[in-house]
Amino acid sequence: MWVDKTTLLIDSKDDPIVDKIKDTLEKVAVFIRKDGGDISFKGYDKNTKTVFVQLSGACEGCMLIDSTISGGVEAILQQEVDGVNQVKVVDSDYNIIETHTYGWY
C-alpha cells in the first residue's frame, strides 16, 4: 500500500498544524538520534489525521520500532498536537511499511 504524496500537507503554508507536527517530531528525534537512528516528517493527511514519517539509521531493523512508533512518537504527537490520530512509517517511495516488518516478527 502506498500514499499519494500529492495529497499530503508538507508545509505550514498548507496548514499551520504542519509546523506543530514538525516541532514535536524534532523534540522526539533528539532521543532517537541518541540511539543512532533518525526520523523525518514526510507529510500529514488532514482527512485521516495521519502523520507519515520515514525512519533511517539504527531504526531500520530495530526490534523495538513498534513501541517507538506507537508508544513513543504517536503518543507524544497525539498529546502535543490536536488533530493527530496516528503515525505511519513510509519508505522513500511513500509505500506504507508495517512497523512489525522492522522487528523480529
Side-chain half-sphere exposure of 38, counting CA atoms within 13 A: 5
We report the CATH number of the domain holding residue 60 as 3.30.300.130
Cα gap 73→100, rounded to integer Å: 15
Residue-by-residue DSSP string for 30-87: HHHHHTTEEEEEEEEETTTTEEEEEEEETTTT-TTHHIIIIIIIIHHHHHHSTT--EE
The pTM score is: 0.90
User: Which tens digit of pLDDT belongs to each residue from 44-82?
Assistant: 999 999 999 999 998 877 888 888 888 899 999 999 999
Domain count, the chain: 1
The whole-number pLDDT of residue 56 equals 92
What pLDDT score does 71 carry? 86
Residue numbers of the domain that contains 53: 5-101
